[in-house]
Amino acid sequence: MPTPSAQPIFSYIVDCRNPGTHVYHLTLTIVGLTSGQHILALPVWTPGAYEVRDFAAHVFDLRLAAGPVPLPAHHQSKNQWIFETTADMAEVTVQYQVYAFQLGVASSHLDQSHAYFNGAQLFFLVDDYRDAAWDVVIQAPPEWRVATGLEPVANHPYHYRAADYDILIDSPVEIGTHRAYTFMVDHKRHEIAIWGHGNEDPDVLVADTEAIVKAQRDLFGGLPYDHYTFILHLSDRATGGLEHLNSTTCGTERFAYRPRKNYRHVLQLIAHEFFHLWNVKRIHPDMLGPFDYQREVYTRLLWAMEGFTDYFGDLSLLYAKRFSPQEYLDTLADRIRRYERLPGRLVQSLSESSFDTWIKLYKPDSDSPNRTISYYLKGDLIGMCLDLAIRQHTANQGSLAEVLRRLYDRYGSRGIGFPESVYQETVEEVAGCSFADFFRRYIDGTDPVPFETFLNHAGLTVERTYKNPAAEDNNGDLGQRTQDAPLPWLGIDTEVKNGHQPTVKVSYANGPSVDKINPGDRLLALNGYEIATEAGLDERIRLNHTIGEVVEVTFFRRGQLGSAAIRLGTAPPDTVKIVPVKDASEAQQSCYQAWLRADWQAAASSAK
């Protein structure tokens, strides 16, 4: 019998032997609980996905027993149960079932083909025993294997141990007949486990993933884990990625691995999620670990956690020679285009976007482009601006990577979070000057970001153009309609569903239709003539109308015919390019070369 002061011993059995029911059977055995009242609490969210999802909704048939004797449990709140033990109860078991039929990297899924789960959906925390070790034994159909970041116990293929509850929650588990590929970096085992079938080339995927691992390792000077697991889900839709301490799950479309223009998005996803093992999993503000799983946790720094992860993810693809410099700059340029189209960039700051992620980014509505800005999208671009500004101030001796390395050395490598103010302080320390103005304007404020100013440090500038359908005309007579001339715009985005006419998705706050055409309106006609497809509408307006001209738009609104006269506005640029400036100085050229690790002359000559 353990002494009352010893940690109790917690062991879970996860039974997925009847996968067609989509129900996991869980048994938690607790040995050595002190007598008194205890709480079973299931998380309401899972780290990395900042959304309260109330996983307890899928729990049913919860029963407790002390030995053979049933033990009453009181369901005291949506995700908590209370029970009481006496001194003679050596062992308590908790049995329950969890319905798991949601495919997603942050969800749990069980069907005839595999079992996949995130701990937040399956595993109760008992009282506050976060620091205790948690055992997990998996009972699976014959032939099914396990892929997870958890440590196997004595090399047993179905028995794992998490050193504490946070690791238990942070280690998703894939069980099934997935294909497994391994490679070694720094004598550490990396496994890629692929569930679902698609058009991936395993040799290429392994080589590319290994190159990403090495490029990112070089940024930090080592790999802070014993082994790493990439779980890849291939299905009919992309479900994104979720980061963990020594693993990640990435959900891609099954045919996203060819051609290369699609596959590069897969590489971006893998590079992003892998970079998270430093940025957010180890380098993070104190609110992001250890986590409070019972409620929302608030930070104003998700732009640095997510945006900079996008930034360094792409940069590592360049350093790993998976992106060419031009491809990398085109990716950044397209982000500038997307950012500049969004009226919400002038409404919500990056720090507000981060703070409000629980109610805004993860719960978008049709007005979100007008009122919010994604901390991924703007955060990535701010990463670029900060990197270039630091390089400018330090003659390339400092960089944004150096900021991350210092945060990692001082906090991340010691397993602690930092106070939020430390971020700006560390940037200023590396740059050797104040960044108060930068933070006030572009992070805590909504000033438009002058990308040209920052890119100029590296001898680059931004070029914005318009896709004029008339420019494709070979007659050569474009009149006023050159590529540089703005074009007429209705100010809406539409989508085509089930072969119907286009339905309005967004009516832009800076567009001419904002108070006349609503999201959800089904567009029927322009000036009395039928609107057939989405692409047709845009092109028709650009080819046949002018800025300032009034057009009549006819639509169905909740099944009732309506119409509106719209004075056409000016379309935002639809192509943005980052190009070299003429006659770049030596300082500009060396900034470019240090930043992109690429030859300036090649960039300058290809632009001619």
Residue ranges that bind Zn ion, judged by CB under 5 A: 306
> To the nearest whole angstrom, how small is the minimum distance from the Cβ of residue 267 to Zn ion?
15
Q: Is the CB of 306 or the CB of 356 nearer to Zn ion?
A: 306
Helices (H), 320-435: 325-341, 350-355, 368-371, 377-393, 400-410, 422-431
> To the nearest whole angstrom, how small is the minimum distance from the Cβ of residue 301 to Zn ion?
13
CA distance 443 to 429: 18
> To the nearest whole angstrom, how small is the minimum distance from the Cβ of residue 306 to Zn ion?
5
- Give the HSE-up count for residue 282: Cα atoms under 13 Å, Cβ half-sphere: 23
CA distance 520 to 514: 13
Which residue has its beta carbon closest to Zn ion? Answer: 306
> To the nearest whole angstrom, how small is the minimum distance from the Cβ of residue 541 to Zn ion?
37
Q: Of 220, 335, 352, which Cα lies nearest the Cα of 276?
A: 220
- HEC string of 502-516 equals CEEEEECCCCCCCCC
Q: Is the CB of 106 or the CB of 215 nearer to Zn ion?
A: 106
Q: Is the CB of 170 or the CB of 538 nearer to Zn ion?
A: 170
| Torsion sign across C-alpha atoms 488, 490, 492, 497 | negative
Q: Of 10, 46, 7, which Cα lies nearest the Cα of 292?
A: 46
> To the nearest whole angstrom, how small is the minimum distance from the Cβ of residue 275 to Zn ion?
8
Q: Is the CB of 200 or the CB of 306 nearer to Zn ion?
A: 306
Q: Is the CB of 174 or the CB of 306 nearer to Zn ion?
A: 306
Beta-carbon neighbour count of residue 167 at 10 Å?
A: 20
> To the nearest whole angstrom, how small is the minimum distance from the Cβ of residue 178 to Zn ion?
23
Q: Is the CB of 83 or the CB of 274 nearer to Zn ion?
A: 274
Cis peptide before 259 (omega within 30 of 0): yes
136 near 162, Cβ under 8 Å? yes
Beta-carbon neighbour count of residue 325 at 10 Å?
A: 18
Using DSSP's 3-state secondary structure scheme, residue 394 falls into coil
Strand 522-526 relative to strand 550-557, pairing = antiparallel
Q: Is the CB of 246 or the CB of 370 nearer to Zn ion?
A: 246
Q: Is the CB of 281 or the CB of 405 nearer to Zn ion?
A: 281
Q: Is the CB of 24 or the CB of 312 nearer to Zn ion?
A: 312
> To the nearest whole angstrom, how small is the minimum distance from the Cβ of residue 4 to Zn ion?
43
**Going by C-beta distance under 8 Å and a sequence separation of 6 or more, which residues neighbour residue 404?**
219, 220, 278, 279, 283, 308, 312
> To the nearest whole angstrom, how small is the minimum distance from the Cβ of residue 41 to Zn ion?
26
Q: Is the CB of 306 or the CB of 493 nearer to Zn ion?
A: 306
Strand 227-235 relative to strand 240-243, pairing = unpaired
Distance of CA 280 to the CA centre of its chain: 12
> To the nearest whole angstrom, how small is the minimum distance from the Cβ of residue 242 to Zn ion?
8
> To the nearest whole angstrom, how small is the minimum distance from the Cβ of residue 243 to Zn ion?
6
378 near 346, Cβ under 8 Å? no
